[in-house]
């Protein structure tokens, strides 16, 4: 089958490759929302860190691997860059405020009303997530101004909370519609 172009229809304008084109395209890509946590060591005051991520990906079932991206300018990067274990929390659609807290620069993310406890390997585990995993970091891959962290699942909550996932699209949090 041959397709003949419509010569009366102008070609779409091309964007110049760069950060704005990438942001524009990915504002239109709906993504699940997760919070990544890690326990700071003595060099970081022993304080837990965490951040909101929309880059969580299942990489492999055997072995069970996940990945996520983190900016090297993130306040959490110094701890994540040396952490042996991280927590991965899949957020529910009623956890928009928790997602916003962990996305907010300068916030005390683990202060009330955030509910959490030390989980396996000392990783901070957030109460109420749809699912949570504790993962052993196996690689940190340089990727521009970010690092892609690959981690192997070592523990989690197999029961998982019932509910719907929180989504991020066009700069806002959303819930699935019926």
CATH number at residue 76: 2.30.110.10
CA angle (34 as vertex; 29, 39 as ends), nearest 5: 145
Residue 132 and residue 156 in contact, taking contact as beta carbons nearer than 8 Å:
yes
On whether residue 152 sits in a domain, the answer given is yes
In a domain, 33, yes or no: yes
Q: In degrees, to the nearest 5, what angle opens at C-alpha 105 toward C-alphas 100 and 108?
A: 80
Mean pLDDT by 10 residues, the chain (178 residues): 66 72 79 95 85 96 97 96 97 96 93 96 96 98 97 91 91 86
Instruction: Give CA–CA dist 83/170, Å, rounded.
Output: 31
3 in a structural domain: no
**C-beta separation of 40 from 47 below 8 A:** yes
Which DSSP state fits 128? Answer: T
Domain count, the chain: 1
Residue 177 lies in a domain: no
Strand ordering across the sheet containing 85-90: 48-53, 34-39, 85-90, 131-143, 146-156, 65-71, 57-60
Angle subtended at Cα 76 by Cα 48 and Cα 42, rounded to the nearest 5 degrees: 45
Residue 5 covered by a domain: no
The pLDDT assigned to 164 comes to 94
The predicted structure's pLDDT at residue 94: 95
3-state secondary structure of 95: coil
C-beta of residue 99 within 8 angstroms of C-beta of residue 129:
no
- Say how far apart CA 56 and CA 39 lie, in whole Å: 19
* 72 within a domain of the structure (yes/no): yes
**Residue indicated by tokens 């990906």:** 57
Model pTM greater than 0.85?
A: yes
Print the domain residue range for 103. Answer: 19-170
What pLDDT is stored for residue 5 in this prediction? 64
Residue 72: the pLDDT is: 96
Indicate whether 70 belongs to any domain: yes
Residue 30, domain member (yes or no): yes
């Amino acid at each position: 089958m041959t397709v003949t172009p419509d010569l009366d229809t102008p070609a779409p304008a091309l964007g110049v490759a760069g950060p704005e084109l990438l942001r524009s395209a990915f504002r239109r890509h709906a993504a699940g929302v997760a919070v990544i946590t890690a326990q700071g060591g003595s060099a970081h005051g022993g304080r837990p860190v965490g951040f909101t991520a929309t880059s969580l990906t299942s990489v492999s079932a055997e072995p069970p691997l996940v990945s996520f991206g983190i900016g090297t300018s993130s306040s959490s990067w110094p701890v994540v860059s040396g952490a042996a274990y991280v927590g991965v929390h899949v957020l529910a659609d009623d956890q928009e405020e928790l997602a916003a807290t962990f996305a907010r620069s300068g916030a005390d993310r683990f202060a009330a009303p955030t509910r959490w406890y030390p989980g396996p390997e000392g990783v901070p585990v957030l109460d109420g997530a749809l699912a949570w995993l504790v993962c052993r970091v196996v690689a940190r891959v340089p990727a521009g101004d970010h690092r892609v962290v690959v981690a192997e699942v070592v523990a989690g909550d197999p029961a998982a909370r019932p509910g719907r996932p929180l989504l991020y699209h066009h700069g806002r949090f959303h819930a699935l519609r019926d």
